[in-house]
Structure 1
């Protein structure tokens, strides 16, 4: 992310070049320090702000990184790369709508720039708009067939749309170019589980964790697989690891509840099962309830709506409690 500057060889220009080199070598602390030096000599220099934002983002300093990215875009609205950095930071922060806005501006400025289209695709994927993610990822690959970021996003979107075989092929292509791409291993593993190719799925998920032991999604996915295989003890242990990394990770909490129920630990299982109300798949159903959820208190004189929540088996099993509810409530 470069921009012309007027400086002597040992001044801001040299610091800027050193910052780019340090970032390219993975020394993000040194890179941020170099770009700070440039900004001390040339306050508000957009390219230095954008590059420092990139280095700070790599260091996990999201607040400072987003501040620099926004400052770069404010100082130079036509700097597409600045909008791209802002978009990437917002995806990581969970602000998918903000990321879409930032990447949309980047693509408006540079429609034929594959990384900008790939970033917009990733933002739409984070926003659960898989159709839009597919369109922009495909466009990025038309612009640059080597854009692995776009290929990974396209595979992820197609997997969510049920095009599992095509998604697996795309993840395999990603891994051919980047064998240590933990995300591609994770997503291919999840897709393989959906095809009941359990042994291959387990190999992918364990490979993803060998690369990144703290990849919480891989821990949760492997827990599901181990539950399917009947090893509820390992499933619970895997969920515990994911929950230790993020106590609010509803998927792992819910997976732990399922494993505990299957293990016969009903007290733990039903308590953890309440996390389904915050689960990305099941949670939205609870947001649309027409009245408060019943918590088990006295039903005398009250109306109670009972609805089927998940599978037919659960519905049949819990229907046996309906006569008791009918006897206690005014209307069921």
Structure 2
């Protein structure tokens, strides 16, 4: 019987060890002196210390020095509370900082439990490396902040145009009306000239209003479709920037909403970047269909830039492109090098494209 009991316990121990080593999360147990007594394979992978070098050493081995004292005190306090298990570091989603064997710090989620054994308390910690999640959260926050900044810049641009073109014109017209009121019957020829000037000013103001409105939402996009809207955009860009812009697109390619607006805005923002930064002589815009996706490219022959360099002024524009593509499950790739121009490649899943 004794032999059978021993074999059963050994079998259980082997199965437990196998389960611990197959776990995706790091599982580490320490004794009351906070020395490591259990260390699974996931812990080896996450921390970089092989089990034979970690077992028997203080848990502080796996923590940055500045956190070791506070962590040891927190574990001792947990042992005194009698609580069976709790999350380390605070509430849900909170992280603590771990230390790899190579000295690299990384964020991790952890929960701790305690049991009483014949040898004393045993603390077990389950750890998960959340570096990718934390990095994604940081990028998302930066993305949201910069996207908000880009929108505010666009609002400021529209406000400047309204002030510079419309508000000043309306002020001039008001002054002219006051002048006309004071000239009643005095100089008919001067009044005629003034009325002609006012008419020209009104025509210019109406044209500016149509242009600003078209920048916000071109009527041609709703009335004639994406192909005509992109052609209008290319021609308008060529006139304003004095840069040749060529559009390649099958006019029979039908694109529904919200993809049509997204493509139009992406091309619009890409051309703004070209005008501001590229110093290009020619731009080629191409829109095609590949299986169930729309494939857009905007290529210029400008000065280019190093994509891996520090953030550049055009980064906010590129951020807007990525934001629009991301909302539709798409992706943006930017290819560029100093002196080699820039190509913006966008792929938007669109099962309705045909």
The TM tier, using the shorter chain, reads under 0.3
Q: Which has the higher helix share?
A: 1
Larger radius of gyration: 2
Task: Tell which has more relative contact order, 1 or 2 (C-alpha 8 A, sep 6+).
Answer: 2
Q: Which has the higher strand share?
A: 2
Q: Under a length normalisation based on structure 1, what TM-score does the superposition of the two structures give?
A: 0.25
